[in-house]
A and B are shown apart, each in its own frame.
Chain A
Amino acid sequence: MMYYSRLRMASVIGVCLIGLALCLPNVIRQPMASLPWRQIHLGLDLRGGSYLLLQVDMNSVTADRLRGLQDETRQTLLKNSLGYRNLTTSAHGVTFTPRTPEEAQPDIRALRAMPMNVPGEFRVEQAEGGQITLTLSEEAARQRSYDAVTQSIEIVRRRIDATGAIDPEITRQGDDRIIVELPGISDPERVKNLLGTTAKMTFHLVADSAIGSSVPPPGVELLPMTDGQSKLPVFSHVDVDGADLTNASASIDQQSGEWAVNFTFDSTGAQEFGDVTRANVGKRFAIVLDNKVIEAPVIRTAITGGSGQITGGFSAQQATDMALLLRAGALPAPLNVIEQRSIGPSLGADSIRAGGYSLAAGFVLVIAFMALFYGRFGWYANIALLANLVLMTAILSLFEATLTLPGMAGMLLTLGMAVDANILINERIREEVGRGRSALQAMQAGFERATGTIVDSNATALLAHVMLFVFGTGPVRGFALTITIGIVTTLFTTLLLSRMLMVRWYARTRPSALPV
């Protein structure tokens, strides 16, 4: 208890020095690119910016897959010369009635042989009444939603990068959510609009014969125009898919002087586009974005160059954004914003100032208190406190943690609580001195008895904050993280560093009485 080997002393001091070195990246510039340079990031609440929580619309992912499954079922049955009645899609699966009860077994055999995206994607079963049902499995649903989120994150990243945002953070949260953090963007309206658009572009032929009829014939859909006023009947069949685009850009059309979006297809798309336009000269071709018709120009000649132009009466911003969306690609499912928080830069600066001053004032008060009430050993505790602050900063830098406003409060509270261990030791030593022990015995007893108490009391606090970290979100997690790290550094600085200072002082001076 009262002896510190050279090695032990060197390691305690070494840890503190390493801590000090790790703090450097927060205050000075990186001298060499090869040096690892990790620093604490400021949270959005301190630097200003926006936080968006997006939810992927899984219902639409499932609905898409079921629609595909219904198509495949129809084609499979027809290919095998099997008949069906009442082929429908419900929320859970695809259902139909076989033409005759005898055909049920061949139906099931044929359907089970259909290709699956993942093994065991769907089950084919016959119900009591003779109906045959195809149901998607839970397993496959999970896989599908995982893929949809992964793909969405990629598209979201491309779209946000294209807006020129600095240091955006895009992360997956839970099963179907995406967190987007945009430092420095305090008005996220444009980003919200960009992310709120699926941007699925398709080209369809217009069903001229159905114009004016309110109930479209089979294979034809009534789609709204983007002006929201009228509807246009188009064939459901997708002639060319916007997924085959390689590039899109906004420019001013030379002839009309209007803003337009130019697009270029890859070779597949160019081939299809050429074929369709050649075969349908004189007909109208609808450009559909997210189930809305942007425009439906008449095809004058075959377009074989693989590029085209959309003029939909856009403003400059609309044309730029649409080009951006087409370049970045379509989202696999709609994204809905369910939480947004944005903070202007001036408020962040105010918070840093208020938090910083309070932190400094609290620190000074604690130091003064310890010096006044505990004398020399109080100063040792203060040195340990300073080391504690350095080590906390070091570990937070090492993790490249994000410092939030509650996190700053957490640091302050840690410092207030950190001296508890020193107080416990000092009070214990005082008691032992009061009982008439010698200086050496009193210090020994103080360290020994107080250690158990210190570990116990810190362990309970640690438990509470680990829970907070697990269940908390956003800034509160920052708070829990700082306190958790703070408890660990507190144990180190009090149980090792301040004790070492006290022991060294004793070994140097061999006092007959302790300054308590």
Chain B
Amino acid sequence: MMFDRPLLRFVPRGTKINFMRGRFIGLATSAVLSIASLILFFHPGLTLGLDFRGGIVVEARTQGPADFNAIRAALAAQHVSAAGVQSFGGPDDVLIRLDTPPDSEPDHEARTQAMVDSVRHAIGTLPGAQVLRADAVGASVSKELFRNGMLALGISLLMILAYIWFRFEWEFAVSAVVTLILDLTKAIGFLVITHFEFDLVMVAAILTILGYSTNDKVVVYDRVRENLRKYRTMPLAELIDLSINETLSRTLGTSSTVFLAALPLALFGGASLSGFAWVMLFGIVVGTSSSIFIAAPLLLLMGERRLRRDARPPTRT
């Protein structure tokens, strides 16, 4: 039967790549990238999306190519000033953004909401133009959404730490979470460079890649734990290398399927999902390589004495 045997194979059987020899290069590269990302995070910083920045965003489609001067004039006629008008997607799509009035003004919430109606009326005066989307988020809501987003991120990291700690030993948990934080900084750097807006959907994307990255690390660690029991005298560096090589085929296989699943979304998913999908793709690459080049060397550094010296069977609950 023609479908019986696999037609292709990812990794030749029984690879013996010496990953741990390059551990310092891996760690150094990661450190440089993460530091660069941190610098980018402070300057120029993330482009905050509507969820976290507050204000209004109106997406409109004009009849024929957008005439920016006419749009600005229509907005000015409705007393909407300082509006950011930019093209978006096709030539007849425009995006109008306004920031929230300063918090110090007593009626800033009401004015934020009223601005949407003014912009709508302005669009209404342009022949054939229609509003596709109109969102307004007040200052108090945006602060709250930001806080909740950060809470979700922070608590997820803590729970991942706790879970791995519970299932493995603390060296595994700490190196996994340190690696995850390094992954996270790189994702933020990616967001700064690509100018994708950082909003709740991006928090979801980041949480997903953290989940994926953890998943990947758990698979490698699982094998390390198994081999620790199996080869009682093998030096840890060699043992970690063996474990990575044994799981390499699976690691690449799974990252490929997730990558393939997300790729069409990045290419054709439309404005609202493609940013999300690009971050996913970036996260898959980072998460997969960090399992091999960061999480494993960290485990080696932290566990070199302890994991081998005890040589006691790791607890398995």
Contact check, B211 vs A465: say whether CB atoms are below 8 A apart.
yes
- Rounded to whole Å, the gap between the CB of B142 and the closest CB of chain A is 9
Main SS class of interface, A: helix
B8 contacts chain A at the CB level, 8 A cutoff = yes
Complex CA–CA separation, A45 to B132 (angstroms): 11
- Rounded to whole Å, the gap between the CB of A352 and the closest CB of chain B is 10
A339 contacts chain B at the CB level, 8 A cutoff = yes
Contact check, A366 vs B269: say whether CB atoms are below 8 A apart.
no
Q: A336-B110, A465-B207, A467-B156 are in contact. Are A346 and B132 (CB under 8 A)?
A: yes
Contact check, A373 vs B5: say whether CB atoms are below 8 A apart.
no
Q: Which of B22-30, B69-77, B270-278, B294-302 contacts A (4 or more CB under 8 A)?
A: B270-278
Contact check, A372 vs B6: say whether CB atoms are below 8 A apart.
yes
A474 contacts chain B at the CB level, 8 A cutoff = yes
Mark contacts of A326-363 with chain B using CB atoms, 8 A cut-off: 1 yes-contact digit, 0 otherwise: 00000000001111111110110011001101110111
Contact check, B3 vs A379: say whether CB atoms are below 8 A apart.
yes
A235 contacts chain B at the CB level, 8 A cutoff = no
Contact check, B261 vs A365: say whether CB atoms are below 8 A apart.
yes
Mark contacts of B152-169 with chain A using CB atoms, 8 A cut-off: 1 yes-contact digit, 0 otherwise: 100110011001100100
**A458: chain B residues within 8 A (beta carbon):** 215
Complex CA–CA separation, A379 to B2 (angstroms): 12
- Rounded to whole Å, the gap between the CB of A329 and the closest CB of chain B is 23
Contact check, A340 vs B261: say whether CB atoms are below 8 A apart.
no
- Rounded to whole Å, the gap between the CB of A336 and the closest CB of chain B is 6
Contact check, B133 vs A347: say whether CB atoms are below 8 A apart.
yes
Contact check, B130 vs A344: say whether CB atoms are below 8 A apart.
yes
Contact check, B262 vs A340: say whether CB atoms are below 8 A apart.
no
Contact check, B13 vs A373: say whether CB atoms are below 8 A apart.
no
Contact check, A376 vs B138: say whether CB atoms are below 8 A apart.
no
Interface residues on B, range: 35 or more
Interface residues on A, range: 35 or more
Partner of A471, one of B130, B136, B151, B219: B151
Complex CA–CA separation, A415 to B260 (angstroms): 11
Mark contacts of A459-481 with chain B using CB atoms, 8 A cut-off: 1 yes-contact digit, 0 otherwise: 11101110110111111100110
B218 contacts chain A at the CB level, 8 A cutoff = yes
Q: Which of A33-41, A94-102, A418-426 contacts B (4 or more CB under 8 A)?
A: A418-426
**B258: chain A residues within 8 A (beta carbon):** 413, 416-417, 420
Partner of A362, one of B110, B208, B216, B262: B262
Complex CA–CA separation, A480 to B246 (angstroms): 32
Mark contacts of B88-124 with chain A using CB atoms, 8 A cut-off: 1 yes-contact digit, 0 otherwise: 0000000000000000000001100100110010000
Contact check, A338 vs B109: say whether CB atoms are below 8 A apart.
yes
Contact check, A460 vs B149: say whether CB atoms are below 8 A apart.
no
Contact check, A358 vs B222: say whether CB atoms are below 8 A apart.
no
Contact check, A338 vs B120: say whether CB atoms are below 8 A apart.
no
**B200: chain A residues within 8 A (beta carbon):** 472-476
Q: A405-B272, A419-B257 are in contact. Are A457 and B152 (CB under 8 A)?
A: no
Partner of A361, one of B164, B216, B254, B268: B268
B128 contacts chain A at the CB level, 8 A cutoff = no
Within 8 A of A (CB), among B45-78: 59, 61
Contact check, B3 vs A412: say whether CB atoms are below 8 A apart.
no
B87 contacts chain A at the CB level, 8 A cutoff = no
Complex CA–CA separation, A366 to B269 (angstroms): 17
Contact check, B4 vs A453: say whether CB atoms are below 8 A apart.
no
Contact check, B272 vs A339: say whether CB atoms are below 8 A apart.
no
**A341: chain B residues within 8 A (beta carbon):** 133-136
A121 contacts chain B at the CB level, 8 A cutoff = no
Main SS class of interface, B: helix
**A347: chain B residues within 8 A (beta carbon):** 59, 132-133
Contact check, B257 vs A471: say whether CB atoms are below 8 A apart.
no
> Which residue of A has the minimal Cβ distance to B157?
A464
- Rounded to whole Å, the gap between the CB of B306 and the closest CB of chain A is 21
Contact check, B250 vs A427: say whether CB atoms are below 8 A apart.
yes
Partner of B253, one of A379, A406, A423, A467: A423
**B222: chain A residues within 8 A (beta carbon):** 452-453, 456
B10 contacts chain A at the CB level, 8 A cutoff = yes
Contact check, A343 vs B133: say whether CB atoms are below 8 A apart.
yes
Contact check, A409 vs B226: say whether CB atoms are below 8 A apart.
no
A389 contacts chain B at the CB level, 8 A cutoff = no
Contact check, A464 vs B210: say whether CB atoms are below 8 A apart.
yes
Mark contacts of B197-217 with chain A using CB atoms, 8 A cut-off: 1 yes-contact digit, 0 otherwise: 000110110011011101110
- Rounded to whole Å, the gap between the CB of A442 and the closest CB of chain B is 14
Mark contacts of A425-446 with chain B using CB atoms, 8 A cut-off: 1 yes-contact digit, 0 otherwise: 0010011001000000000000
Partner of A344, one of B132, B160, B219: B132
Contact check, A376 vs B4: say whether CB atoms are below 8 A apart.
yes
Complex CA–CA separation, A467 to B247 (angstroms): 29
> Which residue of A has the minimal Cβ distance to B116?
A340
Complex CA–CA separation, A408 to B269 (angstroms): 10
**B133: chain A residues within 8 A (beta carbon):** 341-344, 347
Partner of B204, one of A337, A430, A460, A479: A479
Contact check, A354 vs B268: say whether CB atoms are below 8 A apart.
yes
B18 contacts chain A at the CB level, 8 A cutoff = no
Complex CA–CA separation, A351 to B130 (angstroms): 17
Mark contacts of B234-268 with chain A using CB atoms, 8 A cut-off: 1 yes-contact digit, 0 otherwise: 00000000000011011001101111111111011
The 9 A-B residue pairs with the shortest CB-CB distance, nearest first, are A416-B261, A354-B270, A361-B264, A471-B152, A416-B258, A461-B211, A365-B260, A362-B261, A457-B215
Q: What is the interface of chain A, defined by CB distance below 8 A to chain B?
A: 45, 53, 186-187, 189, 192, 336-344, 346-347, 350-351, 354-355, 357-359, 361-363, 365-366, 369-376, 378-379, 405-406, 408-409, 412-413, 415-417, 419-420, 423-424, 427, 430-431, 434, 449, 452-453, 456-461, 463-465, 467-468, 470-476, 479-480, 483, 515-516
Q: With contacts A405-B272, A471-B148, A472-B149 known, what are 18 further pairs, Cβ within 8 A? A: A53-B141, A338-B109, A346-B130, A355-B270, A362-B262, A365-B264, A369-B256, A369-B257, A373-B253, A376-B3, A378-B6, A419-B254, A427-B253, A434-B14, A467-B155, A468-B152, A468-B203, A475-B201
Can you name 13 A-B residue pairings with CB atoms under 8 Å? A187-B120, A187-B131, A357-B264, A358-B267, A362-B260, A365-B261, A376-B3, A413-B258, A420-B258, A456-B218, A472-B152, A472-B204, A476-B200
